[in-house]
Amino acid sequence: MNRTRSTRSLCAVGLLSGLGVALLLSGPLFGDTAAFGQPSGGTIQLWVTPSNTGNGGGKVLITGAIGDYGTGQNVNSSGKPNSKGLYKNLRLKHGTILANLTQFTAAENNINPPINTSNCSTFATFSAPVEIVSGTKAYAGITGTVNLSAQLALILPKTKSGSCNTNGNPIAQYGSVAGTGTVSF
């Protein structure tokens, strides 16, 4: 059994799908603060509630210099929908933001979470910078970096022989992603 590889896959299913790692920047990270008489840039806080569907998505809330919310979509570097894309298109109420999750995904793929073999539970934490590449509407010209941290906990199913099934879908899971950074636009 390749515990490291299959557990990483479960983490990717449980977290990246929800982040759609996504983690992770689906919505309110970059609201139109200028339209509300606030500065257009500064420190932000990003909060993501991942979706566990495997399709990306998840809910995003951005506070600080920007106040907005929405969902995320897995895309390629051009912003075109791609379920395996390493970028996230944050579809917010006041525009969209394209974020490069390459380093975040690499950090997730390098975790080696411990598995409690008596009850098949496991957890992992990881973090990495996420580059803000571009935006539309209220976020046109946006750039910056958000340092994201993720937490993931899983309970794996057991095989008929009673060992932990690291290739099966988790029977319970929890994930969260949050971070802070600075943006300008």
User: Which structural domain, as residue segments, surrounds residue 174?
Assistant: 3-184
Helix (H) or strand (E) holding 19: helix 17-19
User: Which residue, 179, 89, 181, is CA-closest to 143?
Assistant: 181
Give me the phi and psi of 29, to 5 degrees please: -65, -35
Q: In this structure, are residues 126 and 173 in contact, taking their beta carbons and an 8 Å threshold?
A: no
Angle, helix 3-11 to helix 102-109, in steps of 10 degrees:
140
Percent of the chain whose pLDDT exceeds 90: 71
The stretch 125-146 carries a mean pLDDT of: 97
Tally of structural domains, the chain: 1
Of the given ranges (5-14, 43-52, 118-127), which has the lowest mean pLDDT? Answer: 5-14
